[in-house]
């Protein structure tokens, strides 16, 4: 009975069993949930002046959760999106307890009733083609380190891969020896255990083939100057350093996700349909990809021109289209 009241055993089951085995959540999601409670429990412990290991489930009250969310925004400087992300983890934990112990159903309902905070959709940051080409020109390709950095930047631009997908890429995930018989491909392991394949440009294939020559299938594709696999922090630092060397990007924050947006935007501007872009980026819902349909004023101007008042209508009326009428009558 004591274990049903104490917070610790519930949290241990939630983090080590439920989200791993039952939900099979992505590694980054599990880390986010862990970080949420690493911040939340000490916060409540200080409020109640009670050791963390003695906290009860009901100590995680609505009032304390709201105070914690306010602390994230006001004291830690987190955005509304981060606040909502932490709240989602707390709600999932409450749902886990409420579904297994009827005595906590009321408490669960109160926690899950805490509303998410509305956040403004940030405009998509991306690079024009000359800016992206300037970024690619920064690494010194006369040195081994410069060639490694160039290969990583080119790969991110080619595939629109997430940072985790690039850092976890193994040599076995590359299919580079197809020549004229097929496409050179890379298999990316994305969020939620999903995989997708992306074609590689000949230039990308050439530089990657040089980088992985002689490596075992289980080795990482992208390695740092120390010979260890690139980390998320290492990729961020690389892109920051390259962006700082491009005068046109002065004052702008360039991250790996900006490179991912750049890939999507350039695909849209090249006339690739939005569903293909969705599959390219590994989005589950096309609604996530629709933000790229509004990226460029040129596309909007073209759309306005199609419905401009006073413009002559092109094409024949369907009534005069004999081929169409014959087709309809044949059905």
Catalytic residues: 162, 191, 257, 260, 283, 292
What contacts 214, CB < 8 A, 6 or more positions away? none
CA distance 140 to 8: 52
Opening angle at CA 234, ends 229 and 236, nearest 5 = 135
CA distance 85 to 32: 8
């Amino acid at each position: 009975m004591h274990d049903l009241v104490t917070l610790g055993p519930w949290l241990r089951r939630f983090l080590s069993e439920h989200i791993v085995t039952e939900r099979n959540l992505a590694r980054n999601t599990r880390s986010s949930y862990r970080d949420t409670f690493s911040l939340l429990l000490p916060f409540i412990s200080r409020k109640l002046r009670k050791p963390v290991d003695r906290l009860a489930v009901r100590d995680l009250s609505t009032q304390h959760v709201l105070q914690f969310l306010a602390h994230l925004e006001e004291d830690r400087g987190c955005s509304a999106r981060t606040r909502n992300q932490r709240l989602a983890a707390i709600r999932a934990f409450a749902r886990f307890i409420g579904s297994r112990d009827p005595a906590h159903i009321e408490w669960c309902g109160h926690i899950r009733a805490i509303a998410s905070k509305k956040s403004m959709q940030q405009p998509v940051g991306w690079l024009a083609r000359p800016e992206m080409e300037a970024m690619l020109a920064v690494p010194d390709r006369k040195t081994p380190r410069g060639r490694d950095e160039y290969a990583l930047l080119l790969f991110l631009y080619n595939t629109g891969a997430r940072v985790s997908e690039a850092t976890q890429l193994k040599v076995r995930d590359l299919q580079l020896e197809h020549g004229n018989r097929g496409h050179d491909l890379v298999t990316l392991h994305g969020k939620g255990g999903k995989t997708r394949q992306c074609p590689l440009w000949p230039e990308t294939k050439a530089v990657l083939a040089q980088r992985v020559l002689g490596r075992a299938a289980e080795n990482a594709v992208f390695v740092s100057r120390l010979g260890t696999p690139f980390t998320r922090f290492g990729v961020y630092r690389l892109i920051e350093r390259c962006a700082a060397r491009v005068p046109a990007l002065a004052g702008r924050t360039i991250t790996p996700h900006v490179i991912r947006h750049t890939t999507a935007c350039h695909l849209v501007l090249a006339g690739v349909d939005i569903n293909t872009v969705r599959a390219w980026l590994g989005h589950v819902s096309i609604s996530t990809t629709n933000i790229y349909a509004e990226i460029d004023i040129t596309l909007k101007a073209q759309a306005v021109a199609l419905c401009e008042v006073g413009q002559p209508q092109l094409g024949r009326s369907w009534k005069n289209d004999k081929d169409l009428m014959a087709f309809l009558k044949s059905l």
